[in-house]
A = this chain, B = another copy of it.
């Protein structure tokens, strides 16, 4: 089987053995935003055409390739969902010479009845389930996901747009004016502590400027302080007290979350960020 994690800005293809071992792996920059309308079959041929020619007949795709802006739209599957439910709801992609299917995204509702969605993360989560993970999971990112894994299924999740809010505040708001490049562990920790004080995020964010104007936060510390502030607010809103958190992300993203969680006294278990391949294998196992 071939498994492909096909996202907005990049693509990662795996040629998998029958036992799930990775025979070969390829990275590409052909994220869906770079693919012209109708161009998906040609990109697939370019990236894994030789594997197809060598006899691979099953291709499993996950990620934004299944969104409205992707190849074919794969509907969102409601939670709770495990590998069996997901494998039963794959969306078939018309393609000559191979059986190509898309992993569905997931939809859930929080206690307030408001819907939330994910696409791509579900496959990582199936990988974590296959690795025996249960409980509370955080997948940090532009849109961080906080997820519950229970009894072999994804039972619910919530998205926090922390990374994107940080980017737009630094790039487009008054807070970006007092910023110079730099990283500061101390400023990050100050931001995490600040997130627990009274006043709310909209006030705390402006405080970044007050500190800068009065010379109490260096311009090279501002980005770190704001990260700590936003990640602190995210954790305080999302974390279920008393539970450990399973983290899976690339090191640059996982590190600040692990630091903030530990500052707040939360036990952290970090996992291989490349867990998506295990999810593709697991879903493929139920499909096969």
Q: Which residues of A contact B (CB under 8 A)?
A: 107, 110-112, 114-117, 143, 158-162, 164-165, 168-169, 171-174, 194, 197-207, 209-211, 213-214, 216, 230, 233-234, 236-238
Contacts and interface: CB of A to CB of B under 8 A. Distances in A.
Contacts of A162: 202
A172 to B, nearest CB: 5
B237 A158 contact: no
Contact of A116 (B160, B171, B207, B233): B207
A216 B165 contact: no
Contact of A234 (B111, B200, B237): B200
Contact of A201 (B116, B197, B201, B213): B201
Contacts of A114: 194, 197, 204, 207, 210-211
A230 B202 contact: yes
Most buried by B among A117, A213, A233: A213
A199 B109 CA distance: 12
A276 B204 CA distance: 27
Given A164-B173, A168-B169, A172-B172, A112 B206 contact: no
Nearest to A176: B168
| Interface residue SS majority, chain A | helix
B210 A117 contact: yes
A169 B101 CA distance: 34
B173 A214 contact: no
11 contacts: A110-B197, A110-B207, A114-B211, A116-B210, A117-B209, A160-B200, A161-B203, A164-B173, A164-B174, A168-B168, A199-B237
Nearest to A169: B168
B117 A198 contact: no
